[in-house]
Amino acid sequence: MKRYPSWDRSAPRGDAKGDEAPRIVLVPGINDSGPEHWQSHWQRSHPHWLRIAQRDWQQPDLEGWQAAIRRAIGHHEAPVLLVGHSFGALSSWYYASRFPGQIAGVVLVAPAEPVRFEIEDRILAVPLPVRSLMFASHNDPLLDINRARYWATAWGAELVDVGDAGHINAQSGFGAWPHGLERVEAFARRLGIA
């Protein structure tokens, strides 16, 4: 099977074939996730994981991200685990809240504050209908740690406090992020996905 860099637009995204059923879907945020981002590292080490694809990564459009998630999931009968970063985390929350039968769980990494994108009328302070795990940083420029605690409680998410970690991205020094991967894989096992 040919391996593609995760940022390679020619990579087959959303309809992986092979022996392993794609049960984990990576959902990047605005500007996608570059080659040094942990999502790209994880996809390289787990080529059967899916990753959403779309044309416009600059416009924070929940409906566009939701359509990309729907395409990535395709016609898979078994529920999947969404792993979203920043606006991708909000999009993952939004998708899971609308289509819980397709989703086994959601991992929300450094979700952005919904009001920043004027979507507070759609990203609500209500429990998710699926299990969720949220990673938050004390010095994330897009979500204050106290707001992160608020959202984690409101959504019923298990909160993982990663200390001073910026936006938990490549610019903050999170390349392969093995600790995050271990936590996500453990969460997937608890959901019966791994």
* Domains of the chain, CATH where assigned: 24-190 (3.40.50.1820)
pLDDT at position 7: 38
Tens of pLDDT, residues 117-173: 999 999 999 999 999 999 999 999 999 999 999 999 999 999 999 999 999 999 999
Contact in structure between 53 and 68 (CB atoms under 8 Å): yes
* Residue 109: closest CA among 162, 188, 164: 162
List the single range of 9-13, 19-23, 136-140 with lowest mean pLDDT: 9-13
Cα→Cα distances 77→22, 36, 109, 132, 173, Å: 11, 32, 26, 20, 37
Residue 20 has pLDDT above 70, yes or no: no
Mean pLDDT (the chain, rounded): 89
- Distance separating alpha carbons of residues 17 and 144, to the nearest angstrom: 40
In the chain, what percentage of residues exceed pLDDT 90?
Answer: 84
Tens of pLDDT, residues 73-107: 987 788 999 999 999 999 999 999 999 999 999 99
Contact in structure between 167 and 33 (CB atoms under 8 Å): no
